[in-house]
Amino acid sequence: MDSDDALAIFSALSHPTRLEAFRLLLRHEPEGLATGALVDASGLSQSTFSSHLAVMVKAGLVRSAKQGRQNIQRADVRALTDLMLYLANDCCQGHPELCQPLLAELASCC
């Protein structure tokens, strides 16, 4: 991951609707959610939510897969993990043990 990738993710998550949608998708991993369920949870119109979804897809946070007649949206957990590792990569001024709890938590959850 580079700084452009990180900035794209932060930008995508900087809107309340997108942040909540991504958190909802994380709660529904690994099955994902139908696009309609995400729209219903957001309280927005299909077209408005579609714009938000496109931003998250472009940033690499969400993947879509056709399942029957539905589009299932899934959080890309690897993108989130990569972002966390990118942020922690240079931490702690030569004392990597300070970041060890974060790294262990990331390793155990994903």
* pLDDT in 10s for each residue of the chain, 110 residues: 999 999 999 999 999 999 999 999 999 999 999 999 999 999 999 999 999 999 999 999 999 999 999 999 999 999 998 998 888 777 777 677 787 787 777 677 65
**pLDDT computed for residue 110 by the predictor:** 57
Token couple for 57: 């897809």
Instruction: Confirm if 32 and 73 have CB atoms less than 8 A apart.
Output: yes
Determine the pLDDT at residue 61: 97
* Domains defined along the chain, listed by start: 3-109 (1.10.10.10)
For residue 36 the two structure tokens come to 């309609």
Nearest residue to 1 via CA among 66, 59, 54: 59
Residue 90 has what pLDDT? 72
Judged on CB neighbours under 10 Å (0-12, 13-18, 19+), 79 is buried
pTM: 0.86
